Amino acid sequence: MNRRRHASAALTVICALTVLASPALTLRAAAAPLPPVPPAASAGTGGSLTPAPPAPRKTLEEVRREIDALYRQAAAATDAYNLAEEKAKAQSAELAELGRTIAEGRARIEDLKARAGAAARAQYRNGGLPDGAQLVLTDDPQLFLDTAGRLRQGARATKDLLIELTRSQAELDAYAQEAGENWTRLEAHRVKQAAARKEITEKIGAAERLESRLAAEERERLRRLEELAQENAQTNWLKTADLPDLTAPATEQGRTAVTFAAAQIGKPYVWGAEGPDSFDCSGLTQSAWAAAGKVIPRTSQEQWRLLPRVDVKDMRPGDLIVYYKDASHIGMYVGNGVMVHAPRPGRDVTLAGAGSMEILGVVRPR
């Protein structure tokens, strides 16, 4: 598929997508109950088999909510994974830098030791007598003055050498201790990564299994129920007093970020992905703002925590909308009440109503 052509077309229809704000949309899906699960046989008295009571039937809306909850839990775990990965990368870089510093410190200490050894060998060549003893034994006034000057210089040099050697050894010990602490933190971040990866895999797997049990017709109705829930949320949001100016202009950087994000429409969501072929929600927003020349944190939770916040009514294209109380999802506002985001596994980067999910707040990279 020609993604650039697809993205260009998406940008040109953003204004038309205010239809997302219309309460007149008639998309509906019946929340009909799913077929009951066949009862399992169980051993009764006397060796006979008696059927187990049938499991309660779930409506398609209940299934939708369960799947949505699983994907939201996976999104929160993805944030934990991404944060642990970022910290592990930073820790690895610091360890590498400390390794170079320790190597330089060891080389410096070896040089100082060599210089101290040279001074000891020079004394040995003088018959083992220190310069002070030679000074007492001389009866040459000029030699006495010259030797006295050398003694003062030598004493200062020896003192400086010992001070530098002591300081270098102390610095080397401190660097070695810091490296050990960094290694411990690195291992802790790797453990967190592994735990988050396991949770992500479990949650996504559970959601996919739940959806795979549905017939093709039910899966289509499930998708329509998702759209209906988003439509209702968008309609309710547009009725609030905090509604932004739908025609607010973007800054130059904001336009660049929006253009990049819109160009990714149609690419798949993959947890932990930062492009160029796939993205997760915060990977998309981070990459979009990187294209605009601004470095922002990697995860949606860190973007919410560290970036400047603005009122919803003041947001403009390029701002980032953070969703849910745990800040586990994020999208980019593109104007006209619409945002672009990477929704979840099994979905592609797409446009949606800015109010189609529970808004926690808005942040603005600067």
Q: What is the CATH number of the domain that holds 264?
A: 3.90.1720.10
Least confident range of 76-90, 109-123, 245-259, 322-336:
109-123
* 251 in the same domain as 195: no
Least confident range of 6-15, 87-96, 147-156, 349-358:
6-15
Could you tell me the sign of the dihedral formed by the alpha carbons of 104, 109, 115, 121, in that order?
negative
Amino acid 134: pLDDT: 53
For 127: left if phi > 0, alpha if psi spans -120 to 50, otherwise beta; the answer is left
Residue 329 annotated in active site: yes
Residue 6 annotated in active site: no
Q: How many Å apart are CA 161 and CA 281, to the nearest integer?
A: 57
Question: Is the pLDDT score of 212 beyond 60?
Answer: yes
Q: Is residue 70 part of a domain?
A: no
* 199 in the same domain as 254: no
Choosing from 6, 15, 189, 329, the catalytic residue is: 329
Question: Is the pLDDT score of 195 beyond 60?
Answer: yes
Amino acid 15: pLDDT: 43
Structural domain count, the chain = 2
Choosing from 6, 15, 189, 341, the catalytic residue is: 341
Q: Which domain holds residue 328?
A: 1-21+238-366
Q: Is residue 72 part of a domain?
A: no
Residue 281 annotated in active site: yes
The Cα-based distances of 217 to 30, 122, 238 in angstroms read 12, 95, 32
Instruction: Pull the structure tokens for residue 115.
Output: 């210089």
